[in-house]
Amino acid sequence: MQAVNLLPLEYRPAGRWTALGTGLSPERVIPIGAAVAGVIALALAGVYVRERSVVNDKQSSLAKEQARLVAVNSQAQAVRDAQTQAAAMTTAVDSVVAGRMLWDSTLGDLARVLPSEVALTALQASAPVASVPTAPVATDTTATSSTTTPVTPTAPTPPATTFTITGNAPSHVRVALILDRLALLPWLSDIALQTTSRLASGSVQFTVVAAVANNGGH
């Protein structure tokens, strides 16, 4: 059987929370509450002041570190500049080295492929891509013209023939062998006989032209 409370509401025993503060008089609650609030506000102000001082410390330490960074960076900048300049110079050296003709290799190759009893009397060869652009010479032979034409050096275009050798061979067959052997050189192309002529001594003078195809690096 369940018990029933027949007391009016105001006479019933209150719950834990509903009874909170019921026995207090406002004259006591307000000053105590104000004092508690004041203490809490003071505590908060203390925490604020402490945090503010930490912020100031951190700010000044950041300023010090930044000043140190500026000082160290000014020294390090010299090293960085040196690195940048060295990289730029290496690139410049690389570009020249990659494009220059390996004449020692090419002359060595030529000496190896020329048959015996063949002597060169003249050689003329140019790199397929010159390191220095050539300025075309503006020639004007007309009597009346007096215009001045600015000429800008242009990127060199490989000439049709950049390699010419002249020499003496004992026979035409030996000249043929020269042509065959020159064809073996990977840095030569378009090998052509320009002329041969028999000399009074019986030997054959020849002139062979070709184009230098690459820088001789094979």
d(CA 153, CA 115): 41
Q: How far is C-alpha 136 from the geometric centre of its chain's CA atoms?
A: 33
Q: Which stretch binds other proteins (CB under 8 A): 105-113, 174-182, 184-192, 197-205?
A: 105-113
Q: Using the minimum distance from each CB to other proteins, give the nearer residue, 34 or 173.
A: 34
- Please work out the total of residues on this chain that contact other proteins, with binding judged by CB under 8 A: 94
* 140-169 residues near other proteins, rule: CB under 8 A: 140-143, 145-153
Chain center to CA of 120: 46
Smallest distance, Å, CB 166 to other proteins? 9
Q: Least Å distance between CB 148 and other proteins?
A: 5
Interaction residues for other proteins, span 4-63 (CB under 8 A) = 20-30, 32-34, 36-37, 40-41, 44-45, 47-48, 51-52, 54-55, 58-59, 61-62
Instruction: Indicate the helix (H) or strand (E) that contains 75.
Output: helix 26-99
- Closer residue to other proteins (CB): 66 or 171: 66
Q: Does 108 bind other proteins (CB under 8 A)?
A: yes
Examine residue 112 and tell whether it contacts other proteins (CB under 8 A): no
Q: Which residues contact 210 (CB under 8 A, 6 or more apart)?
A: 161, 162, 163, 164, 182, 188, 189, 190, 191, 192
Residue 73 tokens, joined: 């960076």
Residue 153 gets which letter from DSSP?
A: -
First to last CA, the chain: 113
Please report where in the chains the tokens 């009874």 appear, as a residue: 19
Phi and psi of 92, rounded to 5°?
-65, -45
Contact flag: residue 201 with other proteins (CB under 8 A): no
Q: Which stretch binds other proteins (CB under 8 A): 4-12, 131-139, 178-186, 193-201?
A: 131-139
CB 120 within 8 A of CB 166: yes
Which of 96, 173, 183, 184 binds other proteins (CB under 8 A)? It is 96
Please give the residues from 70 up to 89 whose contact with other proteins meets the rule CB under 8 A.
Answer: 72-73, 75-76, 79-80, 82-83, 85-86, 88-89
Q: Is 90 in the site for other proteins (CB under 8 A)?
A: yes
